[in-house]
Amino acid sequence: MFNKTGVLLIAAIVLIGAGSVVAAEAEATSEAGQTSAERARDGIIKSIEFDGNSKFKDHVLRQRLGFELGDKLDPFLAEGGRLTISEVYRKIGFTSIKVTLDRDRLARGHLFYTIEEGPRSRIAFIDFAGNEVMSKGTLKHVVKTTERKWLLWPFYYTEEAVEEDLNRLRDFYYDRGYLDYKIEAETEVSDDGTEVEVVFVIEEGPVYRIGTIALKGNKHFSDEDLRGRIESGEGQVYLKPLAVRDATVLAKAYREIGFVDAEVYQRVRFTPSAKDQLVTVEFEVVEGNRYRIGRIDIAGNEETQDKTIRRVLDEYEFTPGQWYNAGVAPKQGRGLLEKYAQRAAVAQEVLIRPVEAADGSTDTKDVRIDVKEGSTGMIMPGVGVSSDSGVIGRLVYRQRNFDLTDWPEDPGGLLTPWRHWKGAGQNFSVTLEPGTKYSQYYVDFVDPYWRDRPVTFHALGRSWDRYRESYDENRLKGYFSFEKRLRGRWRRSIGFRAENVRVDDLDLDAPREIVDVKGHTALFGAKLGIGETAVDDRYTPSKGHVFSVDYEQVTGDYDFGVLGGNYVHYFTLREDVLGRRTVLAAKVQAATIVGGDAPPFEKFYSGGTGQYGLRGFEYRGVSTRGLQLNVANPEYKDPIGSDWVFLANTEVTIPMISENFALLLFVDSGTVDTGSYRLSVGAGLQIMVPQIFGDIPMRFEIATPLMKDDDDETQVFSFSAGGMF
């Protein structure tokens, strides 16, 4: 038997042993836990694997994670990868996606993601509830979510797409004066997760009108003066886009007269009158200081002469001593003056910026102009095709920044013309264009600032052949003209031509009018013209008008006059958030022979896409017809030209993917001195490739004649295109 002391001793030993075991286990557990954490914190990623994914391949998901094999292992990044994978799936309509991360493998440096994709949820139904003023048809055009994509494939549900549509609807209502709207989206997913119904629940609220227009901060202009410049008015429905445009107009009024830093902000304040739903529209003007132009420095132009840029500035009175016109040259860039200077120098980019005056003056701003030059000369082989002229081969030498006075110092330089004759902003080209229906060869020279003045000098020497309906026509022409741009928007011009026209290879049944002009005809013409260009942008106008009228007196083997004129008005129908404008152009054009009888090749032909284009009809398909000769039953078949022509056309240009792609909708109409009135409607696609064709677009158009004459020749599809080999 153990005595009491022995028992206590044994109990103590047992307790100590048990404590040691517990401590050892706890230490082991602690050590093991510490090791896992340390491995997760301080190890590296040894593998990245996925299981259950069928929509995306493994390498695609790895690219989305943001980390890769060999990177430091971080549990937080690993968890972030799980969320990233879930987001990748949700963005394309997998609403029930589940992604799990294997924690045990994570501790050993292996990232193993298990993916339960579930079904992809398509939009089965879209509806609107609560809307009373705006129709469902109108609202469906506002949102992008739809039951079908491109009329064929399903549109899949994503939270982001619905949220974007909510913002579109909210902006739509707010922009139209519904300031108390409440718009939410309710969604219902089918039991199997394959379909989602979306209902936009709308409380339109009342429409708000303008109770008061308040002006604040204006000192230079009076309230009355500024009110006269804006379109928003008291009593009108508050339209945010109109108010924002008004603020832009007011800011431009300041910037045009030297307030370089002027800003105008529009705000809405609610009037404490719930009954009337009135708001106060406040235009806050921050005028800033007014500056004159100091010194103008041009940098970056190694080949382009300074005067090429300065002549553009002079024409727009942007010269030292004048008020700094930040309307055409805003400090933030992208102004018209930059665009015009860039075109004059044929540069990649021209930046015009106001800088602090070098002489320390506080009321002037010096101007820094940075030019990034581009390639201005080219030798371009290519091919063109059009429904009017057939297939045309092309070999062009063109220098768009030509200098007629820059001759090489030795005759050997004549063999490398692209190294000489450049820098003065002139345009020179030699073109060889043999074709299947039409061939031409010409030398063309244009100086937009003749003798450094706003006068365009144009000289042309050209030979061309055209295969007509019942004969061949060849012309050899010399031409030169001057057009002076007057202060303001008007211009006047004078031009002269000398031309030899040869008509030969007549068909047996050619009409009498063609037979009578067989052989050579000499023509000499002098033309006077006057016009007005009042547009916001003379290269890509979106509002304003262009008007011109001219008269040419022709002598030689024939004596007659040609009186013509045209008027085009541009309207901006819509401007999106990127500044792209939907533009309506309405054009009226007319011409007539006066004071004599003109030969058939000087008369007017309509149809096609040329000068007197009438889409939906063939080139020269609308014309007076001549009676056949030398046939048993003669008919009025081949066109012989008309003594007058009248056209009235409208066209809407809708920008698409970018400014270089546009949808065309048009209505063409007109008549000549015989037959009834013609009318056609159509649509088309316009593609601009400025690097190759400059301002000349490629066009593909389909038109349907709704009104025509029995003798007219129709053509549903018309096109013009060109390209380089």
- pLDDT > 70: percent of the chain: 88
Give, as one character, the DSSP assignment of residue 453.
S
Selected residue with higher pLDDT from 270 and 598: 598
Neighbours of 620 (CB within 10 A): 20
Instruction: Please check the confidence at residue 720 and state whether its pLDDT lies above 80.
Output: no
Residue-level pLDDT at 106: 92
Measured distance CA(586)–CA(568) in Å, rounded: 6
462-505 residue pLDDT tens: 999 999 999 999 999 999 999 999 977 899 999 999 999 999 99
SS3 646: strand
Residues 6+ apart with CB under 8 A from 402: 421, 422, 424, 425, 426, 427, 428, 445
547-596 residue pLDDT tens: 999 999 999 999 999 999 999 999 999 877 667 889 999 999 999 999 99
Over range 681-698, report the average pLDDT. 75
Reported as a pLDDT band with limits 50, 70 and 90, residue 117 is very high
Reported as a pLDDT band with limits 50, 70 and 90, residue 540 is confident
Reported as a pLDDT band with limits 50, 70 and 90, residue 5 is very low
Residue-level pLDDT at 709: 94
Residue-level pLDDT at 648: 97
293-311 residue pLDDT tens: 999 999 999 889 999 999 9
- pLDDT > 90: percent of the chain: 72
205-249 residue pLDDT tens: 999 999 999 999 999 999 999 999 999 999 999 999 999 999 999
**Closest alpha carbon to 388 in 704, 711, 720:** 720
39-90 residue pLDDT tens: 445 589 999 999 999 999 999 999 999 899 999 999 999 999 999 999 999 9
Instruction: Please check the confidence at residue 3 and state whether its pLDDT lies above 80.
Output: no
Question: Which DSSP string corresponds to 297-362?
Answer: EEES-SSS-HHHHHHHHHHTT--TTSB--TTTS-TTS--HHHHHHHHHHTEEEEEEEEEE-TT--S
Encoded tokens for 567? 């008027």
On the CB side of 596, CA atoms within 13 Å amount to 17
Measured distance CA(330)–CA(336) in Å, rounded: 9
Strand spans (E) along 232-302? 263-270, 278-286, 292-299
Residue-level pLDDT at 415: 66
Using only C-alpha atoms, the chain has a radius of gyration, in whole angstroms, of: 37
656-679 residue pLDDT tens: 876 678 999 999 999 999 999 999
181-211 residue pLDDT tens: 999 999 999 988 899 999 999 999 999 999 9
Amino acid found at 179 = L
Q: With contact defined as beta carbons under 8 Å apart, do 157 and 143 qualify?
A: no
612-653 residue pLDDT tens: 999 999 999 999 999 999 999 999 999 999 999 999 999 999
Residue-level pLDDT at 14: 36
What does the mean pLDDT of the chain come to? Answer: 88
Residue-level pLDDT at 383: 72
pTM (predicted TM-score): 0.75
Over range 30-40, report the average pLDDT. 45
Instruction: Please check the confidence at residue 4 and state whether its pLDDT lies above 70.
Output: no
